Amino acid sequence: MPKANGELTQVDHIVTSPFGIFVIETKNYRGMIFGSEHDKYWTQMLGSHKFSFYSPIFQNRAHVNAVKYAVKRNVPIHSVIVFSNEATLKLPTFEQATVISLKHVRKQLKQYDEPLIASQELTAINEALQQLMSQTMFEKWKKKRRHLKQLKRARVRSR
């Protein structure tokens, strides 16, 4: 999905509903997960081994901003980070995002019960996102095709 600066960012999932737009970042990690809302890097503990990874809250913030840029509407956009059920989350409560295990997704989403986006506006948002994704996929295909042609030309020249 294009960001405001023209770069692309890969958004795992976007769920549109009358209750808002949910931008979901999924992490297939296991072990204990530690981090805070303001930490740039989080920690994964697998037994006695410690691994560092970029904060999914920071990562998803870029995705949320890309979705805001794409929909060009003042609608609620929720940042949700979902870890696999094999992860044990040792995390505080966050203000800017929801961080949960996969087994809690349904329960979390059902907490939103007040419609905030009208049906017509939701249809327009969905159409805008679909069009944007189609354009983005077409641009990626064209770029890949150009790259493959360049590789083919380079191979022919090197013979």
pLDDT for residue 148: 76
How far is 86 from 101, CA to CA, in rounded Å? 8
> Is 154 a residue whose pLDDT tops 80?
no
* Structure tokens, 15: 């769920």
Residue 85's alpha-carbon distances to 27, 49, 79, 105, 145, in angstroms, are 10, 19, 19, 11, 39
pTM of the model: 0.82
pLDDT digits (tens, 9 = 90+) for 45-94: 999 999 999 999 999 999 999 999 999 999 999 999 999 999 999 998 89
Residues 130-153 have pLDDT tens digits of 888 777 666 766 777 787 778 777
Give how far the C-alpha of residue 5 lies from the chain's centroid of Cα atoms, to the nearest Å. Answer: 17
Q: Which residues have C-beta within 8 Å of that of residue 88, sequence separation ≥ 6?
A: 31, 32, 33
Looking at the chain, the number of H-run helices and the number of E-run strands are: 3, 8
**127 vs 125: CA distance, rounded Å:** 5
* The dihedral sign for the CA sequence 25, 61, 23, 80: positive
The token pair that represents 43 in the structure block:
């920690």
Q: Is the dihedral of CA 21, 98, 67, 75 positive or negative?
A: positive
- Percent of the chain beyond pLDDT 70? 94
